[in-house]
Structure 1
Amino acid sequence: MDGLHPDDERVGAVMDQHHFSVRGACGFVNQDVWGPCEKSMGNPWTPTNPPGITGPRGSHHLRNVAAAFLNEEFHPNYTIRAENLCVTPGLASAIDALAWAVCNERDGILIPQPFYNGFSVDILNRSKVRVVSIPYTGVEEYSSLEDLFCPTVNSRALEAAFQDAKQKGINPRALLILQ
């Protein structure tokens, strides 16, 4: 974390403002957590160096094009730069990166059932974040998968899973919803 301590005032301010984990806030304050890693690779991919590697956050070219597209299409309040983007090789990597940034070790991510059984490994492996499943069986008004689209059923299931996690000493910090 490049010399930053979790007790650093800037880290605390970022945690409060953006609701990041300690490690996510340290990375945000540092602003270039991947730069040293990319420099140490010594062989970055470029059009003139096709055998090179793309680095831990995607190629510069792809991130520049994506930033330009996002700025042009969505007119954000703040200009998105390539440095603000991280391209992952797949969904599991993206979820891992989000779990790392949003949750501290032993926090939880609520995920409605049924869900991909690999999430338990993908999320726990590096970030040490626990998957908190949201079961629907036993929830009032739930009788089939069609009921998953009912806001009342979802609200009851979410609240029950949240309370159950808290009772087990897990701090739910995020809700993952996939379509």
Structure 2
Amino acid sequence: MSSPPPASADDPYPEAEPEPEPEPASASAPAPAPAPAPAPAGVDPSAPIPWTTAPSLPPVDVEGRRDAARIIRVALGVAWAIAIAATLIGAGLVWSLISVEDPFGIPGGGEVELLVRTLAQFVAPSLLSTGLLGMVALLVVDGLRRAGRIGVPVADGSGGPS
């Protein structure tokens, strides 16, 4: 048997070695034919295959979406009111601290005024910062809601903002 010529270095497809030829089957014993698979009982061949049919979508609950959007708007309105109230009370307390004649001196009104000024010194900064931080958070949430990133979209066809 002769060997194939050596592949050149620039040949991209070198020849593979030939496969051995299969031995012929004896003529006296033919191979049996495979038996046909029986059809499953109770299956209608004309019925559609279950995984090829499109799933039916549940009906859109427009009233439920409107109610959810209304609840979100009311909740955001209440949160805005609380944030604004905290900011205004904190600003009022700060103003009451600095509007006296001598903000760093001993108050002339007695012990009650000293108690009010001490309370205002501790409460006013936290109310101001909480109110302003709440406003920033509400602006972010309202922007995301209007952009459609959170909340339930309302498809009422009005075309206006929700």
TM normalised by structure 1 equals: 0.16
TM normalised by structure 2 equals: 0.17
In our comparison, the structure showing a higher alpha carbon Rg is 2
Greater strand content? 1
Larger RCO (CA within 8 A; separation ≥ 6):
2
